[in-house]
A and B are shown apart, each in its own frame.
Chain A
């Protein structure tokens, strides 16, 4: 069964460092997303991406965040200068056009010290 894969599964970084989280969506999907879940809190939408551009973003997704689809398979989330409050589980998701179902990856746990 096709799946969304994410790397790394866990990253520990120092405050102020740049972090790149990587995702490989399901190959024929056209819509890509990042969500995050701070420990003990709800899953929050960060950004959606379609046709090589951001189609929607939340207020969480400020100038410190960026997304990129550098080639035909990877979809990355970059945090330019991490803060303590960026510590969370980050989920990548993708969907095929016309379908409502989001397929989620297993998440990348980011710990900012």
Chain B
């Protein structure tokens, strides 16, 4: 079964610091990769996704992620975080080309706390 690992459980940064959150997955075939964000008290929202093509994906709010197939990784980055980025971040994977029926497998999440 596929699994998703997020090694950073809790990250504390100061505003303007750079961010990189790690995500590794275990499935060896074709995958679709996602980062979701959950702001306090709110629902999961999609930050960015990768299906194919350019492995460097740009998302909303200045976030980007890079798919490195050889490392089974899809790390999330942001050059300069803001206090409003305080949230929980989830990496997710589903496999295959028929994304419609495929369930997402989520990582355990990384809680990001940005201090003003």
| Residue positions of A touching B, CB distance < 8 A | 4, 30-31, 33, 35, 41-45, 48, 50, 55-56, 58, 91, 93, 95, 97-107
Q: Does B25 contact A (CB under 8 A)?
A: no
**Contacts A45-B103, A45-B104 given; does A91 touch B44 at CB 8 Å:** yes
Q: Are B101 and A100 in contact (CB under 8 A)?
A: no
Q: Are A42 and B107 in contact (CB under 8 A)?
A: yes
Q: Are A43 and B106 in contact (CB under 8 A)?
A: yes
Complex partner residue of A100 from B34, B44, B103, CB under 8 angstroms: B34
Q: Are B43 and A98 in contact (CB under 8 A)?
A: no
Nearest-Cβ distance from residue A94 to partner chain B, whole angstroms: 11
Which residues of the other chain, B, contact A45 by a CB distance below 8 angstroms?
Answer: 103-106
Chain B: number of interface residues, binned into ranges: 20 to 34
Q: Are A101 and B46 in contact (CB under 8 A)?
A: yes
Within 8 A of A (CB), among B26-79: 32, 34, 36, 42-46, 49, 51
**Given A43-B109, A102-B104, A105-B43: 20 more A-B contacts, CB < 8 Å:** A31-B101, A33-B103, A35-B106, A41-B108, A43-B44, A43-B90, A43-B106, A44-B106, A45-B104, A45-B106, A50-B101, A56-B101, A56-B103, A91-B43, A91-B44, A95-B99, A100-B32, A100-B94, A101-B34, A103-B46
Which of B46, B104, B107, B109 has the most CB atoms of chain A within a 10 A radius of its CB? B104
Alpha-carbon distance between A33 and B100 when the two chains are bound, in angstroms: 11
| 24 A-B residue pairs with CB within 8 Å | A31-B100, A31-B101, A35-B106, A42-B106, A42-B108, A42-B109, A43-B92, A44-B106, A45-B105, A45-B106, A48-B102, A48-B103, A50-B100, A58-B103, A91-B43, A93-B44, A95-B100, A97-B100, A100-B34, A100-B99, A102-B44, A104-B43, A104-B45, A106-B42
Alpha-carbon distance between A33 and B103 when the two chains are bound, in angstroms: 8
Q: Are B43 and A107 in contact (CB under 8 A)?
A: yes
Nearest-Cβ distance from residue A30 to partner chain B, whole angstroms: 7
Alpha-carbon distance between A62 and B35 when the two chains are bound, in angstroms: 28
Alpha-carbon distance between A31 and B32 when the two chains are bound, in angstroms: 17
